[in-house]
């Protein structure tokens, strides 16, 4: 997979050298290039923003540098504009994006990017507008980092133990069950007996029940009768 990220703050993307994307790069599964949008400016001050037509507070990112940047790096790609007015980012979206060969992230700043850039991008690639959540960040870099990390760990061959992905929160529509490691007793808190029993069927049943209870308590919106059996939820939740 190839990922290009365009930003006026390329240093913000330095964590991509570390952690999961860094490992995927080292394994040769991923090629990530971070670009400075200012490289596509033509004036002495490397201007990337201007006042909004129609008035109002703040500045808007100019179309010319974005157009030149996307023409150079994004032809034929899936072009992700990070924006609070986009589609909410979920595990399902991450899984879908992990199947794309070439993602380009356009990180907005100020009041956002001139709409014509998004319209133009749709003529050279496939546009996705994605929101990290219902809040406003200062820029799209944090969203691009989060989306990249969630996507990259789903790229086939990346995770040493692919099974660990299957059981994770949101993969099967549920939150993950609580997890424990050694020692079996710590500060008066004991690991549930069932996990020490060696009985794999009982352990699997306990984990499923815990996942259902936790999801119903914390995220009832996820436990719709269509996604998991309504009877199973009723039995699991006291
Ligand atoms: N005026 C814009 C609005 O009300 O929708 C917000 C602009 S925000 C200050 C600057 C940039 O941060 C956006 O263009 C976008 O790239 C990024 N951003 C802010 N919040 C975001 C979110 N929840 N998800 C993804 N990107 C976000």
- Residue whose Cα lies nearest atom 22 of ligand 1: it is 84
Domain presence at residue 112: yes
Domain presence at residue 197: yes
In ligand 1, the atom with minimum distance to the C-alpha of 85 is 5
pLDDT of residue 238: 59
- Annotated binding-site residue? 133: yes
58 in the same domain as 141:
yes
User: Residue 173 pLDDT more than 70?
Assistant: yes
Q: How far apart are CA 83 and CA 112, in angstroms?
A: 8
181-211 pLDDT, tens digit per residue, is 999 999 999 999 999 999 999 999 999 999 9
- Annotated binding-site residue? 56: no
- C-alpha distances out from residue 233 to 190, 192, 207, Å: 26, 21, 13
Pairwise pLDDT comparison (194 vs 229), residue with the higher score: 194
pLDDT of residue 102: 98
Last residue of a domain, one of 126, 152, 178: 152
21 in the same domain as 51:
yes
120 in the same domain as 63:
yes
Q: Is the CB of 143 under 6 A from ligand 1?
A: yes
Domain presence at residue 124: yes
CA dihedral 176, 215, 193, 180 (to 10 degrees): 30
Pairwise pLDDT comparison (227 vs 160), residue with the higher score: 160
- Interval 173-182 mean pLDDT: 95
Kindly report the average pLDDT of the chain as a whole number.
92
Last residue of a domain, one of 123, 152, 181: 152
Taking the centre of ligand 1 as the mean of its atom positions, its distance from the CA of residue 34, in whole angstroms, is: 19
Pairwise pLDDT comparison (80 vs 222), residue with the higher score: 80
Domain with 120 in it: what CATH number?
Answer: 3.40.1280.10
24 in the same domain as 131:
yes
Structural domain span for residue 220: 167-236
* Cis, peptide link before residue 183, omega less than 30° from 0: yes
131 in the same domain as 22:
yes
pLDDT of residue 44: 98
Spatial neighbors of 65 by CB under 8 A, at least 6 apart, are 37, 38, 40, 41, 48
- Write down the pTM of the prediction: 0.91
User: Residue 226 pLDDT more than 80?
Assistant: no
67 in the same domain as 177:
no
8-66 pLDDT, tens digit per residue, is 999 999 988 877 777 777 888 899 999 999 999 999 999 999 999 999 999 999 999 99
- Interval 63-78 mean pLDDT: 98
Taking the centre of ligand 1 as the mean of its atom positions, its distance from the CA of residue 163, in whole angstroms, is: 35
Q: Is the CB of 32 under 6 A from ligand 1?
A: no
User: Residue 229 pLDDT more than 70?
Assistant: no
Q: How far apart are CA 209 and CA 215, in angstroms?
A: 10
Determine which of 11-25, 65-79, 105-119, 146-160 has the lowest per-residue pLDDT on average. 11-25
| Best residue among 48, 81, 82 to mutate for probing ligand 1, ranked by most atoms within 8 Å of CB | 82
> Which tokens go with 130?
């994605």
136 in the same domain as 219:
no
Taking the centre of ligand 1 as the mean of its atom positions, its distance from the CA of residue 140, in whole angstroms, is: 6
- Interval 148-159 mean pLDDT: 88
Taking the centre of ligand 1 as the mean of its atom positions, its distance from the CA of residue 20, in whole angstroms, is: 25
Pairwise pLDDT comparison (161 vs 1), residue with the higher score: 1
- Identify any residues that bridge with 106 across adjacent strands, giving them in sequence order: 6, 81
ipTM, interface predicted TM-score of the complex: 0.99
Query: Are 71 and 128 in contact, with CB atoms under 8 Å apart?
Result: no
Q: Is the CB of 83 under 6 A from ligand 1?
A: yes
pLDDT of residue 166: 72
Domain with 229 in it: what CATH number?
Answer: 1.10.1270.20
Count of domains forming the chain: 2
Q: Is the CB of 139 under 6 A from ligand 1?
A: yes
Q: Is the CB of 109 under 6 A from ligand 1?
A: yes
- Annotated binding-site residue? 12: no
Q: Is the CB of 133 under 6 A from ligand 1?
A: yes
């Amino acid at each position: 997979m190839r990922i290009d990220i365009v930003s006026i703050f390329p240093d913000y993307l330095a964590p991509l050298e570390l952690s999961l994307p860094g490992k995927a790069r080292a394994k040769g599964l991923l090629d990530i290039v971070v670009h400075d949008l200012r490289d596509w400016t033509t004036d002495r001050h490397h201007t990337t923003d201007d006042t909004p037509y129609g008035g109002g507070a703040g500045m808007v990112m100019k179309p010319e540098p974005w157009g030149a940047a996307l023409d150079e790096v994004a032809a034929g790609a899936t072009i992700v504009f990070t924006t609070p007015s986009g589609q909410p980012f979920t595990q399902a979206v991450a899984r879908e994006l992990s199947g794309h060969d070439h993602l380009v992230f356009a990180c907005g700043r100020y009041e956002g990017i001139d709409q014509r850039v998004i319209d133009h991008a749709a003529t050279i690639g496939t546009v996705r507008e994605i929101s990290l959540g219902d809040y406003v960040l200062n820029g799209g870099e944090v969203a691009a980092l989060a989306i990249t990390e969630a996507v990259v760990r789903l790229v086939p061959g990346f995770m040493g133990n692919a099974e660990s992905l299957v059981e994770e929160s949101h993969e099967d529509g549920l939150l993950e069950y609580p997890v424990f490691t050694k020692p079996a007793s710590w500060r008066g808190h004991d690991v549930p007996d069932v996990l020490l029993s060696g009985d794999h069927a009982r352990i699997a049943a306990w984990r499923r029940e815990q996942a259902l209870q936790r999801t119903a308590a914390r995220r009832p919106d996820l436990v719709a009768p269509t996604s998991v059996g309504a009877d199973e939820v009723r039995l699991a939740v006291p």
